[in-house]
A and B are shown apart, each in its own frame.
Chain A
């Protein structure tokens, strides 16, 4: 298992790492039939709570269950502390960057980031320029995708500053593990994650707009039940005790945004939106948007409502900007980055592009604006004709692509048909930024269930695991 150069998080050199010691025992004492019983129990529980994840463009059942693997992913307290500091640092720098590019533009004037990468970026929002959102926070929920390649080596794969999804899985995975294996939570001191909803609500309340007096009213704005993450929207609304609304439930009148309720209009102060910028306000962005609220941006700009994340926040998580995040950390915080970036070639640069085209078979190539694992090339897993077709696309529009080495993603023991086998994993923690920066220990571990696969996206057949951080 170690001969491939892949870091196995549980087994190394015949030994078992500290984090997984108790789980080894658990496995040893678990009868095989109990395992399959528990697996079907887990599936039944997921179905009962209704957690499903629709997959775009794959046909079949859009309410497909995302596979849950019962074998937990474990971090020691020592491992987590470094990640925790690194994640907070990154979330702070990304927000400082957003405040800067929509404000004084110091990082551009200092020549640290080329202006065109910012101002010509599709996610750059003209209407956000010069406006300071409450507490200068633009991205209130930062999802940072991490991969591990060695005992102490983690890389940030990408940042998600708009509306990262998946946190409901983090919460449900834990809930279901606790119900199925309560003994594990007695034997192991596992840091809780169930404070997330309370922290999210606190974070959103802490960024109430200027004109809000008293307790801020929070609502989650969803595109509706046909959105793939609708379950998550309603789940979070439920946990926080706030209303889940669609655009048609809100209207603008006077200085504020109002929600239609059976008792008459109720003012909404903070909108946690789970729709894209382009759909927020048909009077400002796409005029054909049926999902947004006409006039919303005017109320936002005049301090009558806050929108989380702020329109334009996406310019910080663009893959072309990603390369510069370590520089941002140095520039705004005066610190060295705690977490490393994956070395990245930008096809927009001539030399980089040449290297990428010459080495496609060894690289992972992504679209600058892509997400969800679509439109990417995994060189080592692709045949010649696929690679050639992709090369043509890069030549046609080099600026649209970046490339990275194929990383030897760490593997974690996973229940598979033949028993237990290592499968590649990543990690998405959810960092909350408001008055304070908050982070629950752990995150969402995604696992590539197909042997050898490196693509962990749930839209590409990945599964999820409960993620433990062990207390000291």
Chain B
């Protein structure tokens, strides 16, 4: 499937700031399920700086903007050809070994409820690693209903489970927490999702989790949509949690003005795909 992506993030500050520095992980991962046909990330007014491919295989660019500046806009446009690998991350060059992703963070730490959810889900699942991973993803989807606007960026997995509602970030955090309880390496993945017209699929700027499944390697699970990533998904990067994997992580220098973020994302199926 050929997907066209337009993703604009506009940061507006109440008062001009002296400068902004951003780490951007806005480049599609190099992996078997996707091929980049065209891609550009543009931050008007910014000096492009150090860039490198990090240990987990993500391309990172650091940009700086000298102020005074009131608005920072990051524009991403591109086309990616995707194929369905049933969620399996194939041919992805990375150097971090899976066991590193057994480490929990504040947002992915399991409390008693997440531990209980894990054990309940695993009991009927048997010993087959893929079945166990599916069982956890299913349990999380069931325990946390999708509802935007109720949770915050800093909401933890435990809080989301106790509230019973959340968005893709909360689902991913909860699944990572459960996986860790089960001693399964798990991580947070960011990307794009082509939203269907029927309203079944949410959030074009998306996040899900990858669990390390023996014999298969890293496999994506998207509890928010109760599926594994397929050809509608474009994978960007990964990390321990939402903060660690954030496609844009920035810091304002000089002052702490209120910041408003407007994000527009459209992921559309390319016309030529029909031929």
Q: Which residues in A have some Cβ–Cβ distance to B below 8 Å?
A: 105, 115-116, 119-120, 124, 126-131, 251-255, 282-284, 287, 294-295, 298-299, 301-302, 304
Contacts and interface: CB of A to CB of B under 8 A. Distances in A.
Nearest to B99: A119
A301 B50 contact: yes
Given A119-B97, A120-B103, A295 B52 contact: no
A396 to B, nearest CB: 16
B52 A116 contact: no
B102 interface: yes
SS class, residues of chain B in contact with chain A: strand
B62 A283 contact: yes
Contacts of A129: 55, 95-96, 100
B96 A120 contact: no
A295 B243 contact: no
A248 to B, nearest CB: 9
A302 B54 contact: no
B47 A298 contact: no
B60 interface: yes
A120 B240 CA distance: 13
A294 to B, nearest CB: 4
Output the residue of B103, B240, B251 with the most chain A CB within 10 A.
B251
A255 B54 contact: no
Contact of B49 (A131, A253, A287): A253
Contacts of B21: 251-252, 283, 294-295
Interface in B95-144: 95-97, 99-100, 102-103
Given A126-B100, A255-B50, A295 B55 contact: no
27 contacts: A105-B97, A115-B99, A120-B103, A126-B55, A126-B240, A127-B55, A129-B96, A129-B100, A130-B55, A251-B21, A251-B64, A252-B21, A252-B50, A253-B47, A254-B64, A282-B251, A283-B250, A295-B21, A295-B49, A295-B64, A298-B23, A298-B50, A298-B61, A298-B62, A299-B62, A301-B60, A302-B50
Contacts of B49: 252-255, 295, 298-299
Output the residue of A115, A129, A298, A299 with the most chain B CB within 10 A.
A298
Interface of B: 19, 21-23, 47-52, 54-56, 60-62, 64, 66, 95-97, 99-100, 102-103, 240, 243, 249-251, 253
A127 B100 CA distance: 11
A120 B64 CA distance: 33
B50 A295 contact: yes
A298 B52 CA distance: 7
Contacts of B249: 283, 287
A304 B50 contact: yes
Contacts of B99: 115-116, 119-120
B54 A283 contact: no
Contacts of B54: 127, 301
Nearest to A285: B244
Nearest to B23: A283
B47 A254 contact: yes
A399 to B, nearest CB: 13
B6 to A, nearest CB: 25
A141 B106 CA distance: 32
Contact of B251 (A124, A128, A283): A283
B178 to A, nearest CB: 18
Please list the 7 inter-chain residue pairs (A to B) with the smallest Cβ-Cβ separation, ordered nearest first. Answer: A130-B95, A129-B55, A298-B62, A298-B50, A302-B50, A294-B21, A294-B251
Contacts of B22: 283
Given A127-B54, A302-B52, A295 B97 contact: no
A153 B64 CA distance: 56
Contacts of B52: 298, 301-302
Given A301-B50, A302-B50, A295 B100 contact: no
Nearest to B49: A254
Nearest to A124: B100
Contacts of B62: 252, 283, 295, 298-299
Given A255-B50, A298-B49, A298-B60, 15 more contacts: A129-B55, A251-B253, A252-B62, A253-B49, A253-B64, A253-B66, A254-B48, A254-B49, A294-B251, A295-B21, A295-B49, A295-B62, A295-B64, A298-B23, A298-B62
B259 to A, nearest CB: 14
Nearest to A304: B50
A130 B58 CA distance: 13
B10 to A, nearest CB: 19
Nearest to A115: B99
Nearest to B19: A251
Output the residue of B21, B49, B62 with the most chain A CB within 10 A.
B62
A84 B102 CA distance: 40
